[in-house]
Amino acid sequence: MIIAATDRKTSMLPFAEQIVLIAKAKPDMIILTERDLPPSEYKELASFCKNECEKNGVEFCADRFVDVAKEIGAKTIHISLADLKVSKPEGFDKIVTTVRSEKDATDAERLGASLLIFRDVFDLTCKSCRNAKGLATLRCVLGTVDIPVVGAGGILPDVFMGVLASDTAGICMRDGFMRTRSPSGVVEAYHEAERRVKKSI
């Protein structure tokens, strides 16, 4: 599973054009993570993104705006663990939650999450290299829950193999999709990494 998370502030092209390109590249899911927008503006963007996803057979995921997601008929929602602890949103086929530890993961599963995004796989504070300080924790998280877990944080094509070799369900990336004119190349690199990992098993 390859998930694209958006960020209009870092988009290489005008945001709508970038979304179109990403949707045409056919990742498994696009999460519209523009949570700083007021609900009315988010709804407009979400309707556009959902439409592009539907054209291309890509799963659309709204972020945080539960009411907006329901209004436009989205079936997948991403909410924080803190919000999930307050209330599990009803009326969705899939609830995606971001976690940072084994405890977060077990709490999220218990509260009804159906897909987890484990953040901070790679430490980007190291300027000379990207330290995989979270890769070991990711492996531990995979062993504590029965729902799918994808890795996020510093994920670019050069580390696809390493993350997938951990038996994760996939990866979630933002900059790799927002700062390229070729999202299709990113998706193909991911699928090639999948094929190589399967061959090595």
d(CA 196, CA 201): 9
- Phi/psi for 113 (5° steps) reads -65, 145
| Cβ-contact 75, 85 below 8 angstroms | no
pLDDT of residue 52: 98
> CA angle 31-150-104, nearest 5°?
95
pLDDT of residue 194: 93
**pLDDT tens-digit profile, the chain (201 residues):** 999 999 999 999 999 999 999 999 999 999 999 999 999 999 999 999 999 999 999 999 999 999 999 999 999 999 999 999 999 999 999 999 999 999 999 999 999 999 999 988 886 655 445 566 688 888 899 999 999 999 998 888 888 988 998 889 999 999 999 999 999 999 999 999 999 998 886
pLDDT of residue 19: 98
d(CA 87, CA 85): 6
User: In the beta sheet, which residues pair with residue 96?
Assistant: 78, 115
Name all domains of the chain by residue range, CATH numbers in brackets. Answer: 2-200 (3.20.20.70)
pTM above 0.85, yes or no: yes
d(CA 111, CA 58): 26
pLDDT of residue 133: 64
Place of tokens 């504070």: 125
d(CA 22, CA 39): 23
pLDDT of residue 124: 61
d(CA 142, CA 147): 8
Q: What is residue 38's three-state secondary structure?
A: coil
| Cβ-contact 112, 99 below 8 angstroms | no
Specify the DSSP class assigned to residue 28. S
